Amino acid sequence: MIQEQLPTEIQEYLEKQSDYQNDFEHLYTKDGFIETEGLIHKTVISYYMGKNILLKGPTGSGKTKLAETISAIYQKPMHSINCSVDLDAESLLGFKTIREQDGKSVIEFVEGPVVQAMKNGHTLYIDEINMARPETLPILNGVLDYRKTITNPFTNEVIKAHKDFRVISAINEGYIGTTPLNEALKNRFVIFQVSYLTGDQLKEVIRAQTKLTDNQTIEYMAKLADELIEETKKGKVSEEAASTRALLDACDLAVYLTPLTAIEHAISEKLDDEREKSFVMNLAETYFKE
Beta strands 94-101 and 158-160 are unpaired
The predicted structure's pLDDT at residue 191: 96
The predicted structure's pLDDT at residue 1: 55
User: HEC states along 164-233?
Assistant: CCEEEEEECCCCCCCCCCCHHHHCCEEEEECCCCCHHHHHHHHHHHCCCCCHHHHHHHHHHHHHHHHHHH
Alpha carbon 121 to its chain centroid, in Å, reads: 19
The predicted structure's pLDDT at residue 59: 83
The predicted structure's pLDDT at residue 176: 52
pTM: 0.86
Q: Kindly list the strands in the beta sheet with 189-193, ordered across the sheet, starting from the edge strand earlier in the chain.
A: 78-82, 123-127, 166-171, 52-56, 189-193
The predicted structure's pLDDT at residue 177: 54
The predicted structure's pLDDT at residue 17: 79
For the chain, the structural domain boundaries read 2-193, 199-285
Query: Which portions of the chain are predicted below pLDDT 50?
Result: none
- State pLDDT tens for residues 211-245: 999 999 999 999 999 999 999 888 889 888 999 98
Going along the chain, which residue ranges are E strands? 52-56, 78-82, 94-101, 104-111, 123-127, 149-151, 158-160, 166-171, 189-193
The predicted structure's pLDDT at residue 22: 86
What count of other Cβ atoms lies within 10 Å of the Cβ of residue 260? 18
Write down the architecture of domain 2-193 according to CATH: 3-Layer(aba) Sandwich (3.40)
What count of other Cβ atoms lies within 10 Å of the Cβ of residue 155? 14
The predicted structure's pLDDT at residue 99: 83
What DSSP character marks residue 93? H
Q: How far apart are CA 184 and CA 253, in angstroms?
A: 44
The predicted structure's pLDDT at residue 173: 67
Q: How far apart are CA 189 and CA 49, in angstroms?
A: 12
> Which bin fits 241, alpha (ψ -120 to 50), beta or left (φ > 0)?
alpha
User: HEC states along 199-215?
Assistant: HHHHHHHHHHHCCCCCH
The predicted structure's pLDDT at residue 101: 79
Closest CA to 170 of 126, 225, 118: 126
The predicted structure's pLDDT at residue 85: 87
